[in-house]
Chain A
């Protein structure tokens, strides 16, 4: 029980259940088939991206450039495919986007591993470059009619739910399966491979990880490259989900994903975080943003609400970390007298 209370997932679940209770009581619309499917649909993209962000944060890195990578790859791939009248299978496009994203992410990773500076600053710089490239060099604009395979994919549904009361229908895109695939891959990677262990080790203490024989440069580059690949997939997912390519629609998405990961208990000081927690974090964020309308909160107040939620969620976990740290350093400040008067220690020094 005590262990349960210490776990961040527990608190997030409690908040989530309370919130769902409030929404259900106030609107009576939460547990309807179409609302749940809508929620699942809105989770597809943030889950994919947040898992990548979680890996990065576990490895002590912050990436704000992945929305730019996603937008750049999705626009390039979609526009080339549309202009050339591509008719092959859609997964090839997804693969190309993932590889492109991976290359862009690798640039971030190499810079981060080499310069050893706050990754926030490096990725702010690359993000600015990618966005400038997208808007300046490529002169992006909305692609309303996409290549045929993408159009077909965007109308391929896993299931269609209907609300019995008002007859509204919500389809669940087939890409939900892609999301599940990403979750499984990341879960296996982080849990059962040496690389995943290395990411945790690097986040916990880079020096120890290096001494223990991990190639820390490779780990850092890998994490950024993986995020890039996920961003590429995410960008394509976005175009398919919205049914058109809106090149700047992901602006500001980094904050949602970072907040979701941190809400789920990923610690920014590195080394701590779980896939389960991050998934819960995403569900919480999406429940809030989906339910503001159900709760009757005006749209211009939504930013304030998400701000409060982010600060609250991050605050709880940070405060716990701070308290446990203060406990340790408090002991150092008032050391045992017996140790201080140990003559051997003085001689050794």
Chain B
């Protein structure tokens, strides 16, 4: 029995998935570079792309966690906005507007902590809806999104909040050494943390087990409710970080920023090989998928005569095509496995 390696098949498909994604990335990058070399291949354009992707990249990580648990989190954008608003309210209330140096740094960290706590609370609330009340994740997060967005509307009375201390946007839009935006560092930190959680901790294993078969994981003694709570709390915390990036870029907060991100984030996850039925997904895959989407989206920006609305057609089409491709390849793989199983079965019969 020792020669059977159960992990091998999964590892192989994982690496082919990443290779495939890298290939798509290379092709889309090359296409854009050939079509508009004068705009696309400039340093300014590259930096602006790198500056933009972390915002929904972090949201995509949040969505990935929820999807891996077999659910979906449609409340990420609402949570991001709400925690951003709370952080700003905190700053306006306590921080002197002309703070600089150490006090500014301390207040920035405090605001980040406030945002993350608020995000974690939102996530816990949604986790309670799903785990304790048994509401299906899709509805719990949709209803929860209404609730959270409603709360931010009440906080802001429906208008946008300005008057943020200047250092927030100064740090958020800073570009280190002329090519490395701070936002990218934030994304890398989040991605590494989540990657570590998923690959090296018991929680990651439990999450994948529960995602692929909740009944089996419950009957093997795992506490599904606890995993759900943790997952949605993490997702809320990540959303809060994205919310901080959002307010630092926009230099104001509103209840309805980034409404179109939900769709893009789902596309990123599905493209990146996260199984919407739960159980599978890697930080690497999602990260490359984010880069692909950013290249395409910035690429379309170079053509002024392509209306923004065409983009939603393309996103939708990409989503459907990826789903179809995954379906066909999965079918092909199971057929191959079945054939292999049949061959070994007939061999052992002969013996």
Q: A residues engaging B (CB < 8 A)? A: 62, 111, 114-118, 120-122, 124-137, 139, 255, 258-259, 262, 268-269, 299-308, 310-311, 314-315, 318-319, 321-322, 325, 329, 332-333
A residues near B301, Cβ cutoff 8 Å:
none
Within 8 A of A (CB), among B234-286: 263, 266, 270, 276-277
Can you list 21 A-B pairs with a CB-CB distance of less than 8 A? A117-B327, A124-B316, A125-B317, A125-B323, A126-B320, A129-B317, A132-B309, A132-B310, A132-B313, A134-B309, A136-B307, A255-B146, A258-B139, A304-B146, A305-B150, A307-B144, A307-B146, A311-B140, A315-B133, A321-B134, A322-B134
Give CA–CA (A1, B158) in the complex, Å: 46
A residues near B317, Cβ cutoff 8 Å:
125, 129
B residues near A111, Cβ cutoff 8 Å:
320, 324
Q: Are A304 and B309 touching (Cβ within 8 A)?
A: no
Take A136-B309, A259-B143 as given contacts and tell me if A126 and B136 are in contact as well, using a CB distance cutoff of 8 Å.
Answer: no
Give CA–CA (A333, B219) in the complex, Å: 7
Take A126-B320, A315-B129, A329-B218 as given contacts and tell me if A304 and B310 are in contact as well, using a CB distance cutoff of 8 Å.
Answer: no
Take A307-B144, A311-B140, A315-B129 as given contacts and tell me if A121 and B151 are in contact as well, using a CB distance cutoff of 8 Å.
Answer: no
Q: Number of A-B pairs whose CB atoms are under 8 Å?
A: 147
Q: A122-B323, A314-B140 are in contact. List 4 more A-B contacts (CB 8 A).
A: A125-B323, A136-B312, A311-B135, A311-B144
Query: What is the chain B residue whose CB lies nearest that of A62?
Result: B138
B residues near A126, Cβ cutoff 8 Å:
316, 320
Give CA–CA (A111, B324) in the complex, Å: 9
Contact of A300 among B144, B153, B263, B314 (CB under 8 A): B153
A residues near B146, Cβ cutoff 8 Å:
255, 303-304, 306-307, 310
A residues near B314, Cβ cutoff 8 Å:
132
The reply to whether the CB of B65 lies closer than 8 angstroms to some CB of chain A is no
Give CA–CA (A304, B219) in the complex, Å: 38
Take A121-B270, A128-B263, A311-B135 as given contacts and tell me if A303 and B153 are in contact as well, using a CB distance cutoff of 8 Å.
Answer: yes
The reply to whether the CB of B122 lies closer than 8 angstroms to some CB of chain A is no
The reply to whether the CB of B118 lies closer than 8 angstroms to some CB of chain A is no
Query: What is the chain B residue whose CB lies nearest that of A322?
Result: B134
The reply to whether the CB of B147 lies closer than 8 angstroms to some CB of chain A is yes
Take A300-B154, A303-B146, A315-B135 as given contacts and tell me if A132 and B129 are in contact as well, using a CB distance cutoff of 8 Å.
Answer: no
The reply to whether the CB of B311 lies closer than 8 angstroms to some CB of chain A is yes
Contact of A127 among B72, B140, B307, B316 (CB under 8 A): B316
A residues near B323, Cβ cutoff 8 Å:
115, 117, 121-122, 125
Q: Are A318 and B153 touching (Cβ within 8 A)?
A: no
B residues near A131, Cβ cutoff 8 Å:
309, 312
Query: What is the chain B residue whose CB lies nearest that of A319?
Result: B133
> How distant is A142 from chain B, measured CB to nearest CB, in Å?
16
A residues near B151, Cβ cutoff 8 Å:
304
> How distant is A189 from chain B, measured CB to nearest CB, in Å?
25
Q: Are B143 and A124 touching (Cβ within 8 A)?
A: no
Q: Are B129 and A311 touching (Cβ within 8 A)?
A: yes
Q: Are A117 and B150 touching (Cβ within 8 A)?
A: no
B residues near A315, Cβ cutoff 8 Å:
129, 133, 135
B residues near A134, Cβ cutoff 8 Å:
309
Query: What is the chain B residue whose CB lies nearest that of A311?
Result: B143
* Most A Cβ at <10 Å: residue of B313, B314, B323, B327: B313
Top 5 A-B residue pairs of the complex, sorted by shortest distance between their CB atoms: A304-B150, A322-B134, A136-B309, A128-B316, A132-B313
Give CA–CA (A269, B137) in the complex, Å: 12
Contact of A307 among B147, B276, B311 (CB under 8 A): B147
> How distant is A317 from chain B, measured CB to nearest CB, in Å?
9
Query: What is the chain B residue whose CB lies nearest that of A310?
Result: B143
Give CA–CA (A304, B154) in the complex, Å: 8
The reply to whether the CB of B315 lies closer than 8 angstroms to some CB of chain A is yes
The reply to whether the CB of B319 lies closer than 8 angstroms to some CB of chain A is yes
> How distant is A262 from chain B, measured CB to nearest CB, in Å?
6
B residues near A301, Cβ cutoff 8 Å:
150, 153-154
> How distant is A73 from chain B, measured CB to nearest CB, in Å?
17
Q: Are B147 and A117 touching (Cβ within 8 A)?
A: no
Query: What is the chain B residue whose CB lies nearest that of A333?
Result: B219
Q: Are B143 and A117 touching (Cβ within 8 A)?
A: no
Take A121-B319, A314-B143 as given contacts and tell me if A129 and B134 are in contact as well, using a CB distance cutoff of 8 Å.
Answer: no
A residues near B145, Cβ cutoff 8 Å:
307
Contact of B313 among A114, A116, A129 (CB under 8 A): A129
The reply to whether the CB of B335 lies closer than 8 angstroms to some CB of chain A is no
B residues near A135, Cβ cutoff 8 Å:
307, 309, 312
The reply to whether the CB of B228 lies closer than 8 angstroms to some CB of chain A is no
Give CA–CA (A305, B219) in the complex, Å: 38
Contact of A128 among B134, B153, B277, B315 (CB under 8 A): B315
Query: What is the chain A residue whose CB lies nearest that of B267?
Result: A125
The reply to whether the CB of B157 lies closer than 8 angstroms to some CB of chain A is yes
> How distant is A11 from chain B, measured CB to nearest CB, in Å?
15
Query: What is the chain A residue whose CB lies nearest that of B148?
Result: A307
Query: What is the chain B residue whose CB lies nearest that of A304?
Result: B150
Take A124-B266, A310-B146, A314-B143 as given contacts and tell me if A269 and B153 are in contact as well, using a CB distance cutoff of 8 Å.
Answer: no
> How distant is B229 from chain A, measured CB to nearest CB, in Å?
15
A residues near B142, Cβ cutoff 8 Å:
255, 258, 310
Q: Are B153 and A304 touching (Cβ within 8 A)?
A: yes
The reply to whether the CB of B149 lies closer than 8 angstroms to some CB of chain A is yes
B residues near A333, Cβ cutoff 8 Å:
219
Q: Are B147 and A132 touching (Cβ within 8 A)?
A: no
Give CA–CA (A318, B140) in the complex, Å: 10
* Most B Cβ at <10 Å: residue of A131, A136, A137, A258: A136
> How distant is A325 from chain B, measured CB to nearest CB, in Å?
8
Query: What is the chain B residue whose CB lies nearest that of A332?
Result: B219
A residues near B312, Cβ cutoff 8 Å:
128-129, 131-132, 135-136
B residues near A332, Cβ cutoff 8 Å:
219
A residues near B144, Cβ cutoff 8 Å:
307, 311
Q: Are A318 and B316 touching (Cβ within 8 A)?
A: no
A residues near B129, Cβ cutoff 8 Å:
311, 315
* Per-residue A-contact encoding for B202-215, CB less than 8 Å = 1, 0 else: 00000000000001
Query: What is the chain A residue whose CB lies nearest that of B314?
Result: A132
Q: Are B277 and A118 touching (Cβ within 8 A)?
A: yes
B residues near A137, Cβ cutoff 8 Å:
309-310, 313
